[in-house]
Structure 1
């Protein structure tokens, strides 16, 4: 009886030692973090991991609906969040000063620049982020996953997102969406960036001064906003000012926000395709030129 108990205990201990623990899980591998939406099935999950070229041995961070409620629920209504959790992300940590870049695929609501604005406001810097989904989705799951990832890996990334800045990022996403209904989703991020740049430059100290900066930028761009939209914009940037954000740092982080970063355009497969296309066109035009010699 005692031998049986001893053997069972030893086997259990050996099995336990073989199982991965939270402490030994590798959430950061080769300066890379992967997040996955919890609604992904096994096949979809495999597709996303392949698409993102996830490093071997990495433990993805799963973004759940409860996480989405925590990180976005206060300011982003469920109707804009979509319901299912499919969008996922790859975060490649960069060197200090490299800035933040975002590429997206199959994302319908959160634009690339909206991600950039929200993440920089939240305190994310110096990373190349790729967001994808096997289906067309709003993209809030990926944003949730990114926020959660930085919370869970702060010791590795050196970046600690405060609750205040995460809340400001939520509010900014909500206000940007609202103003975008008037300005257009393709232009609203540029407007927000310009306001931030002017605040960094003019350094307003009161709510009235902040409102004057916003009015100046809006008038320079011949934009007409409702009183409610103006109030939301002024309230948002006034809260940012009270939070004592480093506007210069935010402006620097947004320098590349207007660039057209196309999804996966630098992949070897894509490079190979365009190289073959270029070679084919070169051969074609050379053959035509030969006819006139």
Structure 2
């Protein structure tokens, strides 16, 4: 069984208002609204803060002097993490970060700094966000030190909620959270890589959606067959865990589609209802 350290799975949300869709680079234009939220551990450690600052300066084309900053505490993070890993974090465990651009009108793009984020893949984030109906925007996830990145999903969803003034239904949010957590647990309990598990889940979700099934037995069979086809060895417990997570996302697809339509309308109407400086009240 492979053990992956949780190591400070918390959120520094970065919201940048302009997205260069042609090459997925965020630019610092005059009309751009920028916010960086630092986890308190990173903010209080100059070395960690410099690592994060340098990463976004180099990879997101951010001029830090023009960015408004906020700090998120362990107490705020624990309100999020309880819904995913059921873990409680101390004030010295707040590290991982997510950059979110809500103004991009293209497809959802997720970039993960794999040198720091050890578990949750780009595909995992994209799959879970799509399960909520989020299919637009630009997301970057990083951390000053190694972290799994599990809790970042909840923070990203909160960012979409507050910025669009549209609440993701609780059942939809729970399904997306559980999808990330189920995949992380299966990675920890099997010999499969995160990319293998995220690819498997995406493939099965597509098959389940095409067949429009909510039969847990049929979904479990699809997980088992897809794993076999891809040379992935899973225990029955792992198969059942993934099947249950996929069933949840399939069961709330109508609510997710409704949320997607609401977000699309907000974005297409020029961001009506956006209040970028209030998005971190979670």
The two structures have a TM-score, normalised by structure 2, of: 0.64
Q: CA deviation at 1:116?
A: 2.5
Structure 2: gaps spanning 5 or more residues? 1-14, 18-31, 259-282
Question: Partner of 2:135 in structure 1?
Answer: 125
- The 3 A distance-change label for structure 1 pair 138 and 217 is closer
Give the 3 Å change call, closer, same or farther, for CA 98–186 of structure 1 in structure 2. Answer: closer
- Does residue 177 of structure 2 align to residue 170 of structure 1? yes
What SS class does the counterpart of residue 244 from structure 2 fall into? Answer: helix
1:237 aligned onto 2:269: no
CA contact (8 A) 1:33 1:60 kept: yes
Instruction: Determine helix, strand or coil for the equivalent of 1:166.
Output: helix
Structure having the higher Rg = 1
Q: Choose from 217, 221, 228 the match for 1:219.
A: 228
CA contact (8 A) 2:40 2:71 kept: yes
Answer whether contact 1:32 1:91 (CA < 8 A) is retained. Answer: no
CA distance in 2, matches of 1:247, 1:218: 27
Deviation of 1:172 after TM superposition, in Å, equals: 1.0
Specify which structure has the higher proportion of helix.
1
Residues paired across the two proteins, number: 221
For the residue of structure 2 that corresponds to 1:135, the secondary structure is coil
Partners of 2:128 and 2:107 lie apart in 1 by 18
Moved more, 142-151 or 171-180: 142-151
Please name the residue that 1:51 is paired with: 55
**Aligned residue for 1:146?**
156
CA contact (8 A) 1:121 1:165 kept: yes
| Structure-2 change in CA distance of 1:63 and 1:164 (3 Å) | farther
Q: Out of 15, 33, 36, which is 1:34 matched to?
A: 36
**Structural RMSD (CA):** 3.4
Task: Determine which of 79, 83, 90 is the counterpart of 1:74.
Answer: 83
**Bigger RCO of structures 1 and 2 (CA < 8 A, at least 6 apart):** 2
- 1:73 Cα deviation (Å)? 1.4
Contact 1:67–1:148 (CA under 8 A) maintained in structure 2: no
Q: 1:88 to 1:48 in 2, by over 3 A?
A: same
TM-score by length of 1: 0.62
**Distance in 2 of aligned mates of 1:134 and 1:175:** 25
CA shift for structure 1 position 76: 0.8
Q: Is the 8 A contact 2:125 2:153 kept in 1?
A: yes
8 Å CA contact retained: 1:89, 1:142: yes
> 1:228 maps to which residue?
237
Partner of 2:195: 186
Deviations 1:11-43, CA, capped at 9 Å, x for gaps: xxxxxxxxxxxxxxxx76426553322212262
- Match 1:93 to one of 102, 126, 140: 102
